[in-house]
Amino acid sequence: MLRIIKSEDPFVQELQQLGKIEGEEVLPLVEEIIDNIKARGNSALIEYTKKFDGASFAEEDLKIDQAEIEEAYAKVTDGFLESLRAAIDKIYAFHQNQLQKSWWTMDGDGSLVGQMYLPLSRVGLYVPGGTAAYPSSVLMTAIPGLVAGVSELVMVSPPDKEGKINPYTLVAAAEVGISEIYKIGGAQAIAALSYGTQTIEKTDKIVGPGNIYVTMAKKVCYGDVGIDMLAGPSEILIVADDTANPVYLAADLLSQAEHDVLARAILVTPNEALAVETAAQIEKQLELLPRREIALKSLKERGAIIITSDLEEGIAIANFFAPEHLELALAEPISWLGKIKNAGAVFLGHYTPESLGDYYAGPSHVLPTGGTARFSSPLNVDMYLKKTSIISYTKEGLLKASRAVEELARIEGLHAHGLSIKVRK
């Protein structure tokens, strides 16, 4: 079921390519949806919500009201609230450590340069929904923005067929203080956040994961609105040595395979016996999963156990894949951490499953996928901030700089640039 291959097998290269975000086939529909939202606003939103989500309601019901929030609280358990609040505390604590301060430096002549960190004014949070509940995605997208000081956070999430957003998702939003929530999803929600409608004011940036229609809509709208990243299907790569427990490895691989048939779950190890034992454990644990068919298809088509010559080669493969989630199931994982160059998040040791990162540990679970960890970062506080440069020169400082500025302007043929210096001497 889960293929076991050598590191030189051509499927390793193919598997790496399978992580790339593909969505060209949906672009015509996505562009049509965006154009319709731009042209018709709310009426198009209502039509698409009925068409894609099966929910019918009037324009005035697009926005969640307080009665719906109270109704949601009545449906969740005390145990959920306790767990949610514990996770909120952890996520806040982590992101508060990311917050940077404005700074400046001054020369002896009084000239000053520096940088201001300014929060974005209005950010849209996309939270997947419909038939599923993702309260964790509310926390992971909202809390970094709250720490950054964003004044307006607006959440969108697709409704179910009754026109309701999942109560667990709504309660999570209420717990972190999001009061502007709209029951819309898909490419139409991205268009509404990008360009505005009669009811929804446009945002400066959109963050949060979604399906391929959401991802392609973010790609099309980028430039008119900021985005966090183009996120693809979930993925995990585990590098394991002979101290790893195959029961743990199987469970962690399945934790990603159950997300989506396009998810990738990969184990890399020099230990062939461990590979065989893990594959056997996966077959056993699959029988326990309600989402068995999804996980099975993911593992068959996009999963593998890769046998390497040693751990060094395993780490090299990990860097080649640049996975969203990287687990180091090793006896001394910290000693290998310095060799990791590309990963969205790294989980160290036998008692740090990826699910800790999804729900509780603190870092946002919105992570770069499909190899983009080579050049991009997890969702973080900086993504909700703008950096503005500050420059202030005295006359003495201007005179000291004048020769260099005038010469560079002359070389570039921009004479007015040089003149703006000369007239001040």
Give the pLDDT score at 24: 87
Which pTM does this prediction carry? 0.94
Are 323 and 398 part of one and the same domain? no
Give the pLDDT score at 253: 98
Are 242 and 257 part of one and the same domain? yes
Are 209 and 241 part of one and the same domain? no
In a domain, 85, yes or no: yes
Give the pLDDT score at 84: 98
Are 324 and 216 part of one and the same domain? no
Retrieve residue 174's tokens.
């209420």
Q: What is the mean pLDDT of residues 252-272?
A: 96
Are 244 and 267 part of one and the same domain? yes
Examine the fold and report which residue of 197, 227, 257 is the final residue of a domain before the chain moves on.
Answer: 227
What would the pLDDT profile of 192-244 be if each residue is shown by its tens digit?
Answer: 999 999 999 999 999 999 999 999 999 999 999 999 999 889 999 999 999 99
Give the pLDDT score at 1: 78
In a domain, 48, yes or no: yes
Identity of residue 228: D
Retrieve residue 199's tokens.
């009811």
**pLDDT-based confidence at 378, cuts 50/70/90?**
very high
Are 132 and 276 part of one and the same domain? no
In a domain, 373, yes or no: no
In a domain, 282, yes or no: yes
In a domain, 379, yes or no: no
Are 124 and 219 part of one and the same domain? yes
Q: How far apart are CA 192 and CA 224, in angstroms?
A: 12
In a domain, 344, yes or no: yes
Q: Mention every residue, 6+ apart, whose C-beta is less than 8 A from residue 228.
A: 205, 206, 207, 208, 366, 379, 383
Examine the fold and report which residue of 169, 198, 227 is the final residue of a domain before the chain moves on.
Answer: 227
What would the pLDDT profile of 394-412 be if each residue is shown by its tens digit?
Answer: 999 999 999 999 999 999 9
Residue 203: helix, strand or coil by DSSP?
Answer: coil
What would the pLDDT profile of 50-74 be if each residue is shown by its tens digit?
Answer: 999 999 999 999 999 999 999 999 9
In a domain, 368, yes or no: no
Give the pLDDT score at 19: 86
What would the pLDDT profile of 314-328 be if each residue is shown by its tens digit?
Answer: 999 999 999 999 999
Are 271 and 341 part of one and the same domain? yes
Query: Which residues have a catalytic role annotated?
Result: 324-325
Are 342 and 194 part of one and the same domain? no
Q: How far apart are CA 326 and CA 297, in angstroms?
A: 21
Please give the tally of structural domains in the chain: 3
Are 42 and 188 part of one and the same domain? yes
pLDDT at 188 over 80: yes
CATH code for position 265: 3.40.50.1980
Are 354 and 242 part of one and the same domain? yes
Share of the chain above pLDDT 90, in %: 95
- State how far the alpha carbon of 374 is from the alpha carbons of 167, 321, 322, 325, in Å: 37, 9, 6, 13
Q: What is the mean pLDDT of residues 274-301?
A: 96
Examine the fold and report which residue of 312, 337, 361 is the final residue of a domain before the chain moves on.
Answer: 361
- How large is the C-alpha radius of gyration of the chain? 25
CB atoms near residue 273 (< 10 Å): 10
Q: Which structural domain, as residue segments, surrounds residue 90?
A: 24-227
**pLDDT-based confidence at 101, cuts 50/70/90?**
very high
Are 238 and 190 part of one and the same domain? no
In a domain, 29, yes or no: yes
Give the pLDDT score at 20: 85
Q: Position of tokens 């201007």?
A: 398
What would the pLDDT profile of 110-158 be if each residue is shown by its tens digit?
Answer: 899 999 999 999 999 999 987 678 999 999 999 999 999 999 999 999 9
Q: Mention every residue, 6+ apart, whose C-beta is less than 8 A from residue 410.
A: 418
